[in-house]
Amino acid sequence: MTAGKKSDDANMALDEVLTSEELQEAARQENEPVVATGSGAHTVVVAEDEAVNRMDLVAMLEDNGYEVVGQAANGEEAVELTRKFRPDVVCMDVKMPRMDGIAAAGVICDENIAPVVMLTAFSQTDLVKKATGAGAMAYVTKPYEESKLLPAMEVAIGRFAEINDLLDNVERGERQLKEAEQQLREVEEKLKKAEDTLEERKLVDRAKGLLMDKADFSEQGAFRWIQKTSMDQRIPKKRLAQAIIAKYGDPKPADEDER
């Protein structure tokens, strides 16, 4: 059997496996562009208890290039999905069962997971204050319009990034300040140790001179006596030197005046 004959037989076998409709679909998919995943599109969690409104909102967002990674029908689900997917933004309905949107937004904002855009059919001032008080970055009323919702989402994402950059800078500054304070403490400790060492050396030199003068020690012998006595008696050399000076040193002017 020739190679051409084998190829024809293979094509016939393929025709038997795939129907004409399936072959047409495969050809269509072959000509379609490949859509890359993770292309940098903003991710969104949508929280809306009314299924129809939620579907419309998801469709609007996806049509405008957003990637909806989670859909919630109540506030508790919204919090769970936000913790799980850590989206770029959350679209949160105010009125929802189990946990309302304002409470859910408060949890998400307290944990600093994502910016929240509140959605509601109500525009009362008290709800706006509650939403912003909970940490919401923006507030959009129903019916949702692309001209209002999409800019609000972009502003929320931008503000959230700016705030986190600011927090990062503050944390970095605090960390650098703590490091500087620690370095300063270390320098102060070294300086204090150097001062103590210098004072001890001066006292030991004076005590050594007194031993040489009063007790007929050689310079090396006086130093060795101070060093050995300090070790044997577990007395710091500084304190031992002070005792020698107190015994053999010249009396203070005040003492002489009293005499």
For residue 2, pLDDT over 60 is answered with no
pTM: 0.56
- Predicted pLDDT at 116: 94
For residue 196, pLDDT over 70 is answered with yes
For residue 141, pLDDT over 60 is answered with yes
- Predicted pLDDT at 38: 42
Residue ranges per domain, the chain?
39-144, 180-248
- Predicted pLDDT at 157: 93
Q: Which fold has domain 180-248?
A: Arc Repressor Mutant, subunit A (1.10.10)
What would the mean pLDDT of 77-87 be, rounded to a whole number?
Answer: 96
Average pLDDT, the chain: 80
- Predicted pLDDT at 113: 94
Q: Tens digit of pLDDT for each residue in 87-121? A: 999 999 988 888 999 999 999 999 999 999 998 87
Highest mean pLDDT among 34-48, 49-63, 174-188: 49-63
Q: Tens digit of pLDDT for each residue in 205-228? A: 888 888 888 888 888 888 888 888
- Predicted pLDDT at 43: 96
Q: Could you write out the three-class secondary structure of the chain?
A: CCHHHHHHHHHHHHHHHCCHHHHHHHHHHHHCCCCCCCCCCCEEEEECCCHHHHHHHHHHHHHCCCEEEEEECCHHHHHHHHHHHCCCEEEEECCCCCCCHHHHHHHHHHCCCCCEEEEECCCCHHHHHHHHHCCCCEEEECCCCHHHHHHHHHHHHHHHHHHHHHHHHHHHHHHHHHHHHHHHHHHHHHHHHHHHHHHHHHHHHHHHHHHHHHCCCCHHHHHHHHHHHHHHHCCCHHHHHHHHHHHHCCCCHHHHHHC
What would the mean pLDDT of 222-241 be, rounded to a whole number?
Answer: 86
| Residue range 39-144, CATH number | 3.40.50.2300
- Predicted pLDDT at 18: 41
- Predicted pLDDT at 220: 87
- Predicted pLDDT at 107: 94
- Predicted pLDDT at 204: 87
Q: Tens digit of pLDDT for each residue in 146-172? A: 899 999 999 999 999 998 888 888 888
